Structure 1
Amino acid sequence: MVGKLTEIQIDELLERQIVGRIGCSINNKIYVVPISYAYEGNSIYAHTYEGMKIDAMRANPEVCFEVDDYGDMANWQSVIAWGRYEEITDPADRVAAIQILLHRNLPMRSSETTHIGKHWPFYADNETIDGIVFRIVITEKNGRYESYSNSAKISG
């Protein structure tokens, strides 16, 4: 069965995942890049450094955000959200946004390939935070799913 996610299911998927993809545009080129994020209060929060993604969002703050959860090719959920990029520059607001990211990302399970190590960009007690903290204020979102209980499983 293929269908549309409810508003509650859309929010649950956005809250459950920690990696999504931002789609932005600069110089008539579409740029899609994965980011770690936290979802709270109808906004996507993230931290990054200067680069093509920031250049694109500063030039054209209207962006798209995608997140998905795949069990297999016949069992998946996907959310697409549209919104506006906002750089968070006020020191108190930056710390608050970092706290949102920390509370969402630090509890995650570590593995050999995915873990918070020496390159994690900030600690809970940071007063000064390098890089760029931003949010995408969501203006529209929708979600789809596919679900088949009898789908073939690929063993590997």
Structure 2
Amino acid sequence: MLGDLNSKQIEYVLHSLIIGRIGCHADNRTYVVPITYAYDGKYIYGHTKEGLKIKMMRKNPMVCFEVDVMENMSNWRSVIAWGKFEELITPEQRKQGMKILMDTIMPLMTGETTISHAMSDSHQKSVEAMKGVVYRIELTKKTGRYEKT
């Protein structure tokens, strides 16, 4: 059976995953790229190095965001959302964005080196000193579909 996800199901999918895809478009070129993210109910938060997606989102902040859960070809859920990219620039904005991201992702880290790094006293200092671009995407429209056998 194919169907539409309701708003509660859409929110559950967005909250339960940490890997999604951003679709951006600028200069007659479309680019889709996977990201690690955190979702707080309004914004998708991310962190990255300078590169093509950041250049494109700075030129055209209107983006698409997609996540999916695939159990198999007949059992899946997919959410597509649209929103606006915003670069977090001030130290306080960057710190808050990274805190949301790290609070979501760190509990899912399972490698010995990532766990020891997360548990170290220097973890908070490393978050504050982290280089790169911290950003968020305000999701303004969301849809979802599923197939279930």
* 1:60-139 correspondence to structure 2 within 5 Å: 60-110=60-110, 116=114, 123-126=123-126, 127-139=128-140
Structure with bigger helix share is 2
Q: Which residue of 1 aligns with 2:144?
A: 143
Amino acid at match of 2:142: K
Q: Which runs of 5+ in 1 are unaligned?
A: 149-156
1:43, 1:138 within 8 Å by CA — same for their partners in 2? yes
Name the SS of the counterpart of 1:103 in structure 2: helix
Change (3 A) 1:74 1:111: farther
Contact kept in structure 1, 2:26 and 2:56, CA below 8 Å = yes
**Secondary structure at 2:108 match in 1:** coil
Give the aligned residue type for 1:20.
G
Sort the Cα spacing of 1:111 and 1:68 in 2 relative to 1 into closer, same or farther, 3 A: farther
Matched, 1:33 2:33: yes
Asked if the contact 1:102/1:124 (under 8 Å) is kept, the reply is no
SS at match of 1:96: helix
Verify the 8 A CA contact 1:10 1:143 in the aligned structure 2. yes
Q: Deviations over 1:39-93 (max 9, x none)?
A: 0031100000100000000010000000000000000000000000000001111
Percent of pairs identical after alignment? 47
Query: Which residue of structure 1 aligns with residue 51 of structure 2?
Result: 51
Equivalent position SS for 1:107: helix
TM-score, normalised relative to structure 1: 0.86
